[in-house]
Every structure is written in structure tokens, then in C-alpha cells.
Structure 1
Amino acid sequence: MIDLKGKVAVVTGGSSGIGLATVRLLLQQGAAVAFCGRNTERLQAVRTQLQEEFPKASMFAQACDVLQAEDMQRFAQAVRQELGSVSMLINNAGQGRVSTFADTNDAEWETELKLKFFSVINPTRAFMPDLEQSPEAAIVCVNSLLAAQPEPHMVATSAARAGVMNLVRSMATEFSAKGVRVNGILLGLVDSGQWRRRYEAREERNQSWEEWSRNLAQRKQIQLGRLGRPEEAASAIVFLASPLSSYTTGSHIDVSGGVSRHA
């Protein structure tokens, strides 16, 4: 149990998957939470659900695009007005792109690099004035194990993820003078909409999700023998965002179930 009462957290991409699990865990620990996403209907539905789960919690949700700097500035201003100054920012980037070097064109490279970098840059710029004023400020970037362990069938995403890992370390160094810690997590295979869609498209229709995902984990050589759960990733994120990790900056927690082979 972490006491986060009186603290304000922001989660981008907070309406589904790991982002939503992080919002829920932060609310459980007493934080006031703002979250955003691009899908207005899903955002409203999630907010309604969370209000039913946490009737006394302070929360704010707004549709915005993290790749649009003006959107993020408007979101940051609204969060200040609704909840107060932010001390925890979770940059939760989007999904990966499956493509090799040979079949990734220039526009696709630019799209992938922009998504991975500016989904961190724009929110960080928007909320930095708040974070600089907080005595316990923290930024957490949700990254992938591809940053350290690239895959040739995800060449653009692997390269972009490696850049973001470097960016986290650079921001941690620069922002330390302002008292702002910056860390990240490196995700392996986590139960998500992406894997659920692949399950629905499976050839062996009699396989249950449990059997299918267990076989997937075996093929991918995940030592724990299963996919991760969004809640497990959220636990690592909240740890890094909270005062429990007050002497940690410029680091990454590996959340991959043992599939990691990098040093």
C-alpha cells in the first residue's frame, strides 16, 4: 500500500490496457488522477466506470492527441484547474509496428519515430512547469524490451524504442537539477488488445485463451510461462512514480517475465 493522497498524477493513453490499469492503481492508492486518450466515447465510458468504482476519488479525463503540442498544453491547463499541480507524469506510448527494413518506407519511418518520441516530448513539455514546483516530481515512460533487445520484424519500433530509452537517461540527467526524476519500464509480452485480436484470428478454433497464450509464451521462451498482466506493469509504473523510488532516476525496470536476454 502506497499513500498517494494529496498527489496529482497524469496518465496519457489512460483509457485502456496498461494505461487504464495504472489509472486504477493510482486511484486505489489515493492519488487524484487525470488521463487522456483519443477516443472520446471510450474515454467517457471508462471515466463513468471508474467513478462507480471510486465514488470519492478525484479524477479528470479529456480527449486529446499526445502528438499535438497544443492539445497537450490545453490538457495540462485543464488538469491544473480541475485537480491542481501535477507531481507524477506517466507517458504511456502506443503500440508497435510490425515491419522489416525492406518493407518500411520513409513515411512509415517518420510516423513511427514521431509517435514514440513526441508522445514523450509533448506531455513532458506541457507538465514540466508543474513538475518543477513539486518536491517529489517523477516522470515514468512506458517502453518496450525492444529498446534493448530489437527484433528484425519490428525494425522501426525497435529503433524508436531504443531512442526513447536513451531519451529517458538524457532527461534524467538534465532534470535532476530541477528535482525531477525520470525512469521507464521495458515491457515484454503483456495481455493486450493486440494479442486478443491475434487470438481471435487463430487457426485452431478450439483453443482457449489460456492454452493459446501459454503456447505463445512457450514459443517466445518466457521463463514465467505466461503473458504479463496489465496490472503487473502498472505496479512497476506506480513504484517508479511514487516516493518509494525516491533515489532512482535514469533507470528502467524490466517487466518481461524473464524473456530478456540483454545484459
Structure 2
Amino acid sequence: MDLGLAGRTVVVTGASSGVGLATARMLLAEGANVAACARDGDRLERVLDGPPGALRTAACDVLDESAVREFVDRTADAFGGVDCVVNNAGRSLMARLHETDDRQWRDELDLKIFSVLHLVRTARPWLRRSDAGAVVNVNAILARQPETRLAATSAARAALLNLSKTLSAELAADGIRVNSVCLGLIDTGQWRRRYEESGCALDYAAWNAELAADRGIPLGRLGTADEVAYPIVALLSPRASYITGSSIDVGGGVARHV
């Protein structure tokens, strides 16, 4: 199926690994122009390539509004505008309530909220000019289903889900759709690092299955970055033109909320 993304320009943050990298690659395969950024610009250049003229990469701190503005302006100059935005930059803080200090709380809230606000504010004039303006915020099932092991991250994710709903209503008059994709446990570099640091005697596949069982994932495994990238790209598509203010869970059935 043609998703209608050929020639569209999409900004993807946190694109040097995991879901962001998979999303950028899928968009390029659909014929989109991609402006990808990450904190580590050198790594991004190494892992992501695309057709000549269709890809721009840059190092960008999404918490630096002036850097975000420069990145978006350069993207618009290069491609003639911006049609879509994927807010993917993020991380999880594995810490319980009593293990989390005030600075860590502020860092989590800053990253989950202001990384999105900076990019949406900057890109809004360009998205308004597009006939298919769309934003997808990559979030987590934690937003509705908090875990004590991720106290600050759970709260910040809930704030982002709330903000996403507000943005969908606020930007609708400009013809800009805003949706969320909420992740469960996804097999990315973050989980592989935790496995390596654990010193576990199991091989990675067995550790993965044990983790899935411990977390109550009905499908019995962690998801893949490509399995997340597909719904992100589908929500960006003009074919999804009547979907806004929605969220899709991608977690192998781990979500317990209705």
C-alpha cells in the first residue's frame, strides 16, 4: 500500500538507535525526505544512510530550543518545508521513588515535555503550511500504567500523554494531527546493555523470555524497533487523516487498562 509519504519531509529526533533509527529507515524506504537528529551526530551518520538528497542528519540537543530552531530551519530550507514530526528522543530512569532526587525528577520532566514543546513550537508554522501536517509523540504504556521501579519516568510519561491530547485539540484548527504511540518493552540497545550489566548466566534469548514472563507480557517476548516504527509511520500517513488525539499501545498485550 502506498502510504502517500513519498516526497514528504519528516523530522525524527533520537534517531541514532532503536525506535528512532527504525522509523527513519522506514520513512526513507517509503520515499520520504528525512531530517534526523540525535545527541551523538557522529554515530547517527554511521548508522543511517539514505538516497542522495533525501536525508539530512545533525547533532541536536532537543532541550536546547535555539539548536532545535536551527535544525528545523535548515531542514525547511533544504527540503522546502516540514510535513511531519516524530518526537522520539527519550530514556527511562530505573529508580524507585525513594531513590530519585529532585534533579532527576526535573530532568525527566524536562526531557519528556520540553523536547516535544521545543520541536512542535518551532515546526508549527511549517506544519500549518502542509496539507498533511502530523505529529507523533513516542511515549510508553507507563503513561497509563505506572511502575514503582520507574517512578519519575512514569509520571513524566503521563504528563506527555496529557500534553499530547492538548496539542491535538490546539493544533487541529491548523490542520495538524497529533497522536501517540505508547511502547511496552522493546528490544533495543537499552535492554541489551542492562542484560550485559546484569552478569546473568542465561543467554540473551532466555533472559529476554524470562523478562517478558516477569513483566506479564502475553506474547512472551519483547517487541522489536520495526514493530514500533510501523504504527508511527502509519499515523504520519495522509491515509490516517481522520485520526488525531489518539494513542496506540505497542506492548505485546502488557497493557492492563481498558
Q: TM-score range by the shorter chain?
A: over 0.9
What is the CA–CA distance in structure 2 between the aligned matches of 1:165 and 1:100, rounded to whole Å?
A: 21
- Residue 142 of structure 1: aligned partner: 138
What is the CA–CA distance in structure 2 between the aligned matches of 1:102 and 1:223, rounded to whole Å?
A: 30
Residue 186 (str. 1) matches residue 176 (str. 2)? no
- Residue 242 of structure 2: aligned partner: 247
Residue 262 (str. 1) matches residue 257 (str. 2)? yes
What is the CA–CA distance in structure 2 between the aligned matches of 1:170 and 1:22, rounded to whole Å?
A: 24
Q: Give the counterpart of 1:104 among 93, 100, 104.
A: 100
Q: TM-score, normalised by structure 2?
A: 0.96
**CA offset digits 1:86-139 (Å, max 9, x no partner):** 111000031111122222221111111111101101111111110011111100
- Residue 119 of structure 2: aligned partner: 123
Query: What percent of counterpart residues are identical?
Result: 46
- Residue 80 of structure 2: aligned partner: 84
**CA offset digits 1:26-62 (Å, max 9, x no partner):** 0011101111011122022124xx23xxx35611011
- Structure 2 residue runs of 5 or longer lacking an equivalent are none
What is the CA–CA distance in structure 2 between the aligned matches of 1:209 and 1:244, rounded to whole Å?
A: 39
**CA offset digits 1:142-165 (Å, max 9, x no partner):** 001110000112111111100000
Opposite residue 104 of structure 1, the aligned amino acid is: T
**CA offset digits 1:192-213 (Å, max 9, x no partner):** 11110122134443x3222211
Q: Give the counterpart of 1:68 among 43, 64, 85.
A: 64
- Residue 203 of structure 2: aligned partner: 208
Structure 1, 239-248 or 20-29: larger mean CA deviation:
239-248
Q: Give the counterpart of 2:229 among 234, 237, 241.
A: 234
Contact 1:60/1:83 (<8 A) preserved: no
- Residue 164 of structure 1: aligned partner: 160
Structure 1, 81-90 or 165-174: larger mean CA deviation:
81-90
- Residue 45 of structure 2: aligned partner: 44
Total equivalences in the alignment: 257
What is the CA–CA distance in structure 2 between the aligned matches of 1:214 and 1:208, rounded to whole Å?
A: 10
- Residue 6 of structure 1: aligned partner: 7
Q: Give the counterpart of 1:220 among 215, 223, 240.
A: 215
Local SS of the residue matching 1:161 = helix
Structure 1, 6-15 or 208-217: larger mean CA deviation:
208-217
Local SS of the residue matching 1:228 = coil
Name the Cα RMSD after superposition: 1.2
Local SS of the residue matching 1:233 = helix
- Residue 26 of structure 1: aligned partner: 27
Structure 1, 35-44 or 133-142: larger mean CA deviation:
35-44
What is the CA–CA distance in structure 2 between the aligned matches of 1:178 and 1:198, rounded to whole Å?
A: 43
Contact 2:4/2:239 (<8 A) preserved: no
Opposite residue 192 of structure 1, the aligned amino acid is: T
What is the CA–CA distance in structure 1 between the aligned matches of 2:190 and 2:255, rounded to whole Å?
A: 20
